[in-house]
Amino acid sequence: MAPDQGSKPIHFSVLKPDRGATETIERSIIVEAPVAIEYNAIGYAVMMATPVDLEDYAIGFSMSEGLISRADQILAVDAHKADLGWILRIQVPAENAEKVFARARQRVSESSCGLCGMDNLEEVMRPLPRVTAQIDVSDAAMFTALSALRAHQTLNAQTGSAHAAAFCAPDGSILMTREDVGRHNALDKLIGALARAHIDIAAGFIILTARCSLELAQKAILANCPMLVTISAATDLAIDVAEKSGLRLISLARADSALAAMPQIG
């Protein structure tokens, strides 16, 4: 399977409550595969992901992990199909490799969780920088982007099971979208794609087709994203870190309503 193929056809029997199996159909199913991430031949993590846009993923994941701050700090990326999954080999300069060696650990992480394998509570709840980016987005522009999002979800249209992360201009137009079986992978891919294209994430906002959990808020904050909109609800931790770091967080966003957390008092 080539790295630009995120789905494959599977045959199914269609079951009905009154007649049992009545027909056979073919559906496109999203690909979920182990992706082993290596830096300078050192194993760092194994993530469950959809093997598309893997170079974007390599850059975005590296930025979210704090191993690089710019796309050009990655010297090379090689995505190799192995017997049991994929190997993503990333080359970084010596000064960045020191961060890898200091933090290297073998981790296996399910697609539903971006924090599996953290070494301790302090690492999970690490201090976050303030978001310095500021953006003026009207409610109408946000709802415009929400209404247009489905048309940009190509993989989800095929499979019905892909998360999307979309980068939007202040007027609500969608400029770039990345998809994956994992919501945090989709966000990492988008962060990496923006960095590769030299697009300033501070100049727009991001929509995620997911609930907003802690790790998604952390990724947005570390990327200096001024505004994050999620289709499903946010957790209490996500709301807390967003408020403390200056990230505008809007959740449970639908075409006709959305929730903006009010500042906590006391």
Residues with catalytic function: 113
C-alpha torsion sign, points 126, 129, 130, 135? negative
- Segment holding 246, helix H or strand E: none
- Segment holding 20, helix H or strand E: strand 20-30
Angle, in degrees to the nearest 10, between helices 183-196 and 214-222: 10
- Segment holding 14, helix H or strand E: strand 7-16
Q: How many helices (H) and strands (E) does the chain have?
A: 8, 13
Strands (E) located in 31-145:
33-39, 42-49, 76-81, 86-91, 108-109
Please state, in angstroms and rounded to a whole number, the distance separating the CA atoms of residues 187 and 81.
23
Please state, in angstroms and rounded to a whole number, the distance separating the CA atoms of residues 147 and 76.
37
Which tokens hold the place of 187? 């966000």
What are residue 102's phi and psi, to 5 degrees? -70, -30
Amino acid type, 244: K
Radius of gyration of the chain (CA): 19
Please state, in angstroms and rounded to a whole number, the distance separating the CA atoms of residues 154 and 163.
11
